[in-house]
Structure 1
Amino acid sequence: MRLDLDHDTHGLDLRPDISAITPPESMAGTLTVHRREIRLVCERLLMVAGVPAGACPAARDFVVDCVDRFGRDALARLAGTFPGGADRPAWAPPRRTGPRRIDAGGRSALLVGAPVLAGAFADGPGDPVTVHGLADADLLEAGSLWAAALGLGLSVAVEGTDARVEVLPAAPPAPPSLIGTGIEVPAEVWWPLYYASNEALSIDTDLSRLHTGMAPPPSGIL
């Protein structure tokens, strides 16, 4: 069997830099975005930033919790973290600098909130955990959803880029979800996030399409 991948394209004009999905001509108005779409785009964005594969699920879930807790403001801040062009954030893990002290390295909670909270939960109830150098530190409050799942509470006090995170022994009532069955997001916020997340996808070629299960072109079979 021989596959002529250089010439037969099933009648499609495909190049590695061309996506089958093109951006909308206008980014005016709003669109309804559902939880599954937010999860998908957030995971891809974290991959673009270099979050290790094993850390992506927890990091993604924290960002989704931020949207659940703070609504489209969290998505707007995520868009600010991933500006247009090639200027993408680079992920690096937070560091322990002492007992109940964490250095976030100046990165956004949208990128490193999950490991920061994991460190706080590991320390457990007691004295607050001090986090230094954390942008969007107020978003750590979304960790209350994670804490509630562990039967714990969470208190976050923010001063600039520092935060004091206190794990409480009992969980207060969970706040209502702002995503629900869908959330209205300005198109000018959502579409740049969506297309930035596409950078995590494999290059679109005939070979990559074959890997998705597409049958080889009849002319390529001998």
Structure 2
Amino acid sequence: MSLAWSASTDNVGVIGYQVRRSGAVVATTSARSYTVSGLNPGTAYTFTVTAQDAAGNVSPASNAVTQTTDPAANTNLARGKSTSESGHNQVYGSGNSVDGDANTYWESVNNTFPQWWQVDLGSASGIGLLIMKLPPSSAWATRTRTLSILASTDGSAFDTIVGSAGYTFNPATANTVTVTFANTIVRYVRLNVTANSGWPAGQLSEVEIYSA
């Protein structure tokens, strides 16, 4: 994680800076930037910087900056996270799509499009790959669903990151569809479903989201 700060001034003369993580000094440098290593993936850290002069005086701490490191490679960012929806049919709530079980699923209210499914990743993360699944059973015949992928950093204003398109789910390929897109920093991901050739509702067994 890279940090940078403005120069500090002192009547004796600044000789260096102390980089502090949660108040503890982790590095001393004469430069005005520093790259902190050895951090855990997907973890929030808070840093401040203090200046030291030639007389040994240490300045008050700078404003605190909190940043979250990138998640570990191949980590499904959606697994077990909070979800929401436009609605669901019977017991098929949106949380079924992030429980790690491909046999449970979200199904929206029938005969009413558009419908949407949404997950809160918990913090802003860079994403670039999304996997959608339906139950792998052959009872789930081949179907094409039309949907778009939207994203937001605040859960209020959403931007389209993948436009509306038809995706075919086929039991012969485990009823799984993978979508890749340019790396995007988001917290909330929404799937907006407008059609389904196999059933008059939105359906999702699992949604997996990964960094680019």
Do the two structures share a fold, i.e. TM-score over 0.5? no
Quickly name the TM-score band, shorter chain normalised: under 0.3
- Structure number with the bigger relative contact order (C-alpha 8 A, sep ≥ 6) is 1
Q: Could you tell me the TM-score, scaled by structure 2's length? A: 0.24
Q: Could you tell me the TM-score, scaled by structure 1's length? A: 0.24
Higher strand proportion, which one? 2
Higher helix proportion, which one? 1
